[in-house]
A and B are shown apart, each in its own frame.
Chain A
Amino acid sequence: MFKNIGLKILTFLFVSSFFLLNAGTIKIGALVSATGPASFLGDPELKTLQHYVEKINNEGGVNGQKIELIAYDTGASPKKAVTFVKRLISQDKVVAIIGPSTTGETMAVIKFVQRAKIPLISMAGAVVIINPVKKYVFKMVATDRMACQRIMQDLKKRKLTNLALISGSGGFGKSMRKQCKEVAPNYGIKIVADETYGKKDTDMTTQLLKIKNNKKVQAVLNPGFGQGPAIVTKNYRQLKIKQPLYESHGVASKKYIEIAGKAANGVRLVSPPVIVADKLADSNPVKKVALAYKNEYEKAFHTQVASFGGHAYDSLYAIVDAIKAEHSINPQKIRDGIENLKNFQGVDGIVNMSPTDHLGLDTKTGMVLLDIKNGDWSIVK
């Protein structure tokens, strides 16, 4: 009897010894969905974080201190994100957290960072994360609401007023669906069909057939991220639906074109500017940072840049800038530093934070409208 409990205690001691980490570094936590249904967000994010942390450390660190990145793979599961955020807070004792990659996970962890008073910069898309403003929660990625507005603008211009929605049922899809329905009337657009699909569904023909048979539909918008939209796009072409298909910034990655293949041609989407950094006008203030990031990423990993890695870059440098500005690695101070960021030149756009705006992204620089032509992005003039 004594022995098996002895084993238990031994195991606990073993666990604890694992976590005795050295002090003197700036510990930054990261929650990325590097595997699972959102891996095409998490993978470039993790790569970017690891690459730039190494770069910063090689250049002497921040205020003479090295950064220690503690990243966990959540597999896009809110449950895992909750476990890991607790681990980052109480075990690893990080001073700031980057991520999670998806809206659902972010909403699940907010409560814990708020309670622990650790600043968090989410890399997810939905507006609900920063509206209403939460003291310790920031994000610099363009919101779903902004994406909806940009798309509605374009629809209005093309006089396509009857829109069908086919949305993912994850946090981002749900939130963007809601936002699009809210802003549509402002642009004189009617939602005539409203379908949804599950996170791990592998076929959306049923929902798309309903849309196809609806004679009123003039255009289709697919709020969602990850594999879902790629499947929607494929099914869309298989069913030979003629109306234009719009995608959100949840697919702004070459991976999407790879998975959807030829079906992706002709899709119109909104995206952060980084994936077309080389095609931006020289006058665009984002071009310099975005192009530098794009080149460095592509050189380091021999793969095309995705917008998601840009979110990671911005989040990391926002924290670094905040630490430099406040000369402190106290989480409270870092939070203040992030809130006071002004004219921050990010890959995703120019950011001006304030106590009432934890997004701070400039709409003009933060979103571009793209067409996919011959498997490549092209800016809509």
Chain B
Amino acid sequence: MLKRYNISQDIIVLAILLFIAPFFFQNDFIYEIAIVSLLNALICVGLNMLMGYAGQVSLGHGAFAGLGGYIAVILSSNYGISPLFSIFIAIVTMAIFAFIISKPILKLRGHYLAMATLGVGIIISIVLNVEDELTGGSDGMSVDSFSVFGYEFTDSLQWYILCAVLLIFTIWMFKNLINSPFGRVLKSIEGSQKAANSVGINVSHYKSVVFVISVVIATLAGSLYAFFSGFISPSEASFSHSIELVVMVVLGGLGRVYGAIIGAVILTILPQLLTSFEDYQTLIYGAIIIFVMMFMPKGIASLFDDIKRRLFAQNK
């Protein structure tokens, strides 16, 4: 049964841990951090597929998530479309958008690709800031509550369950994808595009597909975040948010399934932990990131490899 659906042990462990975690949550604020962590982790799983597996850097995913969120919010708040359906429309719109821009953009490589996605991201952020009739401008807009077929999400626990289930599902999908021929194609693209081309892989097609998948996941997480927090502002789509997401993936460990999640969780919690340092908050935040990157260049996930290796060595 399990084999048939390719549910591996670690997914079950993750599910159990996500199930246990709420027993340690004392209040709504911790739920809030947990939910935001899960949603960030969701985006990072998608981004990791693009960056860690296909080797394509995107500095625009914050903007894609933000724009997706705005589309869903504007449809549901201004046009009275049900939240679920408006998220669906947002996802379809963003998928088409991503597909169209992927064609010219993904022809670029390395720094140029990063620059192009950065450009698209900044354009999105400017549009959201300037179109204040529609988006509320730089002060953002408030969002109606989220409901599915009349069932309203008001409680933090409901949100937590929704996000946890989505994350587990996405990871399951992700693991199946990367262990399939599709995943091996992505790995080959990361290794060498020319070599991949020479063995008959349609590189640009696969790159587009993985880009679209990651944007779709970002849109889903972005719009859920807007509905959850009850508020959306262009800072969701800002350059710094895009960078933050990339840092999460890299800090956690590029190309590591759980690395992205660890990165997302740590970087979501850290700023909240550091508020007690007041003025030195940003300084310490930066120092921690530099420290991690210096001593664990392969990301925090690599730390567990080391531990595992050492344990094994001792056992033997």
Distance in Å from the Cβ of B135 to the closest Cβ of chain A?
12
The reply to whether A174 and B278 form a contact with Cβ atoms under 8 Å apart is no
Q: State whether the Cβ of B297 lies closer than 8 Å to any Cβ in chain A.
A: no
The reply to whether A86 and B28 form a contact with Cβ atoms under 8 Å apart is yes
Complex CA distance for A1 and B13, rounded to whole angstroms? 8
Complex interface bits, B127-155 against A, C-beta within 8 A gives 1, otherwise 0: 00110100001111010000000000000
Pick from A72, A82, A89, A198: contact of B138, CB below 8 A.
A198
Which of B25, B130, B272 gathers the greatest number of chain A CB atoms within 10 Å? B272
Complex CA distance for A11 and B267, rounded to whole angstroms? 12
Distance in Å from the Cβ of A252 to the closest Cβ of chain B?
22
Q: State whether the Cβ of A119 lies closer than 8 Å to any Cβ in chain B.
A: no
Stretch at the interface among A14-22, A52-60, A139-147: A14-22
Pick from A5, A8, A11, A107: contact of B139, CB below 8 A.
A107
Complex CA distance for A170 and B129, rounded to whole angstroms? 10
Complex CA distance for A83 and B262, rounded to whole angstroms? 21
Distance in Å from the Cβ of A196 to the closest Cβ of chain B?
9
The reply to whether B138 and A5 form a contact with Cβ atoms under 8 Å apart is no
Q: State whether the Cβ of B86 lies closer than 8 Å to any Cβ in chain A.
A: no
The reply to whether B29 and A108 form a contact with Cβ atoms under 8 Å apart is no
Which of B17, B129, B262, B276 gathers the greatest number of chain A CB atoms within 10 Å? B17
Complex CA distance for A83 and B268, rounded to whole angstroms? 12
- Tell me the chain A residues, 72-114 only, with Cβ under 8 Å from chain B: 72-73, 77-79, 82-83, 86-87, 89-91, 103-105, 107-108, 111-112
Secondary structure of the A contact surface, majority rule: helix
The reply to whether B30 and A12 form a contact with Cβ atoms under 8 Å apart is yes
Q: A169-B132, A199-B138 are known contacts. Are A86 and B307 too (CB-CB below 8 A)?
A: no
Complex CA distance for A251 and B303, rounded to whole angstroms? 52
A108 proximity list for chain B (CB < 8 A): 139-140, 142, 231, 233
Complex interface bits, A42-69 against B, C-beta within 8 A gives 1, otherwise 0: 0000000000000000000000000000
Pick from B13, B32, B236: contact of A86, CB below 8 A.
B32
- By beta carbon, the residue of chain B nearest A71 is B278
Q: A1-B10, A11-B266, A15-B273 are known contacts. Are A111 and B138 too (CB-CB below 8 A)?
A: no
Distance in Å from the Cβ of A47 to the closest Cβ of chain B?
13
Q: State whether the Cβ of B177 lies closer than 8 Å to any Cβ in chain A.
A: no
- By beta carbon, the residue of chain B nearest A93 is B27
Complex CA distance for A259 and B259, rounded to whole angstroms? 47
Complex CA distance for A225 and B265, rounded to whole angstroms? 36
Q: A5-B13, A108-B140 are known contacts. Are A79 and B24 too (CB-CB below 8 A)?
A: no
Complex CA distance for A1 and B273, rounded to whole angstroms? 25
- Tell me the chain A residues, 262-288 only, with Cβ under 8 Å from chain B: none
Complex interface bits, B26-53 against A, C-beta within 8 A gives 1, otherwise 0: 1111101110000000000000000000
- By beta carbon, the residue of chain A nearest B235 is A79
A107 proximity list for chain B (CB < 8 A): 139, 142
Distance in Å from the Cβ of A53 to the closest Cβ of chain B?
16
Q: State whether the Cβ of A23 lies closer than 8 Å to any Cβ in chain B.
A: no
Q: State whether the Cβ of A3 lies closer than 8 Å to any Cβ in chain B.
A: yes
Q: State whether the Cβ of A9 lies closer than 8 Å to any Cβ in chain B.
A: yes
The reply to whether B24 and A4 form a contact with Cβ atoms under 8 Å apart is no
Q: A5-B17, A8-B265, A15-B269 are known contacts. Are A91 and B137 too (CB-CB below 8 A)?
A: no
The reply to whether B269 and A11 form a contact with Cβ atoms under 8 Å apart is yes
Q: State whether the Cβ of B80 lies closer than 8 Å to any Cβ in chain A.
A: no
- Tell me the chain B residues, 241-295 only, with Cβ under 8 Å from chain A: 258, 262, 265-266, 269, 272-273, 275-276, 278
B25 proximity list for chain A (CB < 8 A): 12
Q: State whether the Cβ of B21 lies closer than 8 Å to any Cβ in chain A.
A: yes
The reply to whether A169 and B137 form a contact with Cβ atoms under 8 Å apart is yes
Distance in Å from the Cβ of B79 to the closest Cβ of chain A?
20
Complex CA distance for A3 and B307, rounded to whole angstroms? 9
A82 proximity list for chain B (CB < 8 A): 229-231
The reply to whether B231 and A79 form a contact with Cβ atoms under 8 Å apart is yes
Q: State whether the Cβ of B71 lies closer than 8 Å to any Cβ in chain A.
A: no
Q: State whether the Cβ of B203 lies closer than 8 Å to any Cβ in chain A.
A: no
- By beta carbon, the residue of chain A nearest B13 is A1
Complex CA distance for A171 and B33, rounded to whole angstroms? 27
Complex CA distance for A86 and B159, rounded to whole angstroms? 16
The reply to whether A111 and B139 form a contact with Cβ atoms under 8 Å apart is no
Complex CA distance for A169 and B131, rounded to whole angstroms? 11
- By beta carbon, the residue of chain A nearest B25 is A12
Pick from A4, A11, A171: contact of B301, CB below 8 A.
A4
The reply to whether A4 and B262 form a contact with Cβ atoms under 8 Å apart is yes
Q: State whether the Cβ of B304 lies closer than 8 Å to any Cβ in chain A.
A: yes
Pick from B28, B132, B276, B307: contact of A18, CB below 8 A.
B276
Complex CA distance for A3 and B273, rounded to whole angstroms? 21
Distance in Å from the Cβ of A2 to the closest Cβ of chain B?
7
B201 proximity list for chain A (CB < 8 A): none
A13 proximity list for chain B (CB < 8 A): 24
The reply to whether B24 and A3 form a contact with Cβ atoms under 8 Å apart is no
- By beta carbon, the residue of chain B nearest A92 is B29
- By beta carbon, the residue of chain B nearest A37 is B138
Complex CA distance for A114 and B78, rounded to whole angstroms? 22
Contacts A90-B29, A104-B138, A108-B139 aside, 13 further interface pairs with beta carbons under 8 A come to: A11-B269, A12-B21, A15-B272, A18-B276, A19-B29, A78-B139, A79-B231, A86-B29, A87-B29, A87-B32, A108-B140, A108-B233, A174-B132
Chain A residues at the B interface, C-beta cutoff of 8 Å = 1-5, 7-9, 11-16, 18-19, 72-73, 77-79, 82-83, 86-87, 89-91, 103-105, 107-108, 111-112, 169-171, 174, 198-199
Closest A-B pairs by Cβ, 5 of them: A104-B139, A90-B28, A91-B29, A5-B17, A90-B29
